[in-house]
Chains A and B, each alone.
Chain A
Amino acid sequence: MADSSPRITPEAVAKVARLARLDLAEADLARFAEQLAGMLAHFADIDALDLSSVEPMTQPYPLVNVMRDDVVSTSLDRDEVLAAAPAAEDGRFRVPPIIGLEG
Chain B
Amino acid sequence: MSDYTIDGWEIVVGLEVHVELATATKLFSASANRFGDDPNIHIDPVTLGLPGALPVLNRRAVELAMRIGLALECTVKPCTFHRKNYFYPDMPKAYQISQYDQPLNVDGWLELPGGKRIGVERAHLEEDTGKSTHVGGTGGRIHGSDHSLIDFNRAGVPLVEIVGRPDIASPDEAKQYVTELRQILVAVGASDAKMEEGSMRCDANVSVRKPGQPLGTRCEIKNVNSVRSLGRAIEYEARRQIALIEAGEKVRQETRHWDETDGRTHTLRTKEDADDYRYFLEPDLVPLAPDAAWIEAVRAALPMLPRARRRRLAEATGAPADGEAVMVVVERGQDDYVLAVGAAGGDVTRALVHVKEAYAEQGATPSVPVADLAGMITLETSGRITATQAKTVLAELLSNGGGDAAAIATAKGFEAMDASALEALVDEALAAQPAAWAKYCDGEEKAVGAIVGHIMKASKGQADGKAVSAILQARRG
List A residues at the B interface (Cβ < 8 Å): 19, 21, 58-59, 63-73, 75-76, 78, 81-82, 89-99, 101-103
Q: Would you call B57 an interface residue if the criterion is a C-beta within 8 Å of the partner chain's C-beta atoms?
A: yes
> Which residues between 24 and 45 of chain B lie within 8 Å of chain A, taking CB atoms?
24-25, 30-32, 38-45
**Contact (A75, B150) CB under 8 Å given A97-B142, A98-B132:** no
Partner of A91, one of B24, B40, B88: B40
Q: How distant is the Cα of A77 from the Cα of B23 in the complex, in angstroms? A: 22
Contact yes or no, A98 B142, CB < 8 A: yes
Interchain nearest-CB distance for A57 vs B (Å): 11
Contact across chains for A93 and B32 when beta carbons are under 8 A apart: no
Number of interface residues of B (CB under 8 A): 56
Q: How far is the CB of A69 from chain B (nearest CB, A)?
A: 6
Given known contacts A19-B276, A98-B132, A67 and B56 CB-to-CB distance under 8 angstroms = yes
- The complex places the Cα of A33 from the Cα of B50 at a distance, in Å, of 31
Among B25, B89, B149, point to the contact of A70 (Cβ < 8 A).
B25
A97 to B89 CA separation, bound complex (whole angstroms): 10
Assess the B41–A75 pair: CB atoms within 8 A: yes
B14-28 CB mask vs A (1 if < 8 Å, else 0) is: 000000000111000
- If A81-B40, A81-B43, A98-B134 touch, whether A69 touches B89 (CB-CB below 8 Å) is no
**A-B pairs with lowest CB-CB distance, top 4:** A70-B60, A92-B149, A73-B30, A67-B59
> How far is it, in angstroms, between the C-alpha of A52 and the C-alpha of B132 when the chains are bound?
46
Judge if B283 is at the interface, Cβ distance under 8 Å.
yes
**CB-defined interface of B74-100 with A at 8 Å, one 1/0 digit per residue?**
000000000000111110000000000
When each residue 94-120 of chain B gets 1 if its CB lies under 8 Å from chain A and 0 otherwise, what string results? 000000000000000000000000000
Q: How far does the Cβ of B51 sit from chain A's closest Cβ, in whole Å?
A: 11
Contact status B149-A58, CB under 8 Å: no
User: In this assembly, does B262 line the interface, its C-beta being within 8 Å of a C-beta of chain A?
Assistant: no
How far, in whole Å, are A59 and B273 apart by their CA atoms in the complex?
34
For the complex, would chain B's binding face be called helix, strand, loop or mixed by DSSP majority?
loop
Q: Is the interface of A mostly helix, strand, loop or mixed?
A: loop
**Contact at A76–B44, with CB atoms within 8 Å?**
yes
> Would you call B176 an interface residue if the criterion is a C-beta within 8 Å of the partner chain's C-beta atoms?
no
B219 to chain A, nearest CB (A): 15
* B49 CB → nearest A CB, Å: 11
Contacting pair A90 B57 (CB below 8 A) = no
Interface string of B398-438 (1 = CB under 8 A from A): 00000000000000000000000000000000000000000
Pick from B62, B273, B281: contact of A67, CB under 8 Å: B62
B86 engages A75 (CB within 8 Å): no
Contact between A98 and B148 (Cβ–Cβ < 8 Å)?
yes
| Contact (Cβ within 8 A) A58 B283 | yes
17 extra interchain contacts, Cβ-Cβ under 8 A, other than A65-B287, A73-B31, A101-B89?
Answer: A63-B286, A64-B287, A64-B289, A67-B58, A68-B56, A70-B58, A70-B59, A72-B31, A73-B30, A75-B44, A91-B39, A92-B133, A95-B147, A98-B134, A98-B148, A102-B86, A102-B273
Chain B residues numbered 252-288 whose CB sits less than 8 Å from any CB in chain A: 255, 268-269, 273-276, 278, 281, 283, 285-288
Q: Check B43–A103 contact: CB distance below 8 A.
A: no
Taking a contact as CB atoms under 8 Å apart, the answer to whether A78 and B41 are in contact is yes
Docked complex Cα distance between A92 and B134 (Å): 12
Q: A70-B23, A94-B148 are in contact. Are A19 and B275 (CB under 8 A)?
A: yes
Q: Give bound CA distance, A40 to B89, whole Å.
A: 33
Contact A95 B150 (CB under 8 A): yes
Contacts of B56 in A (CB 8 A): 66-68
Which chain B positions have C-beta within 8 A of A99?
142
- Is B238 an interface residue, CB under 8 A from the partner? no
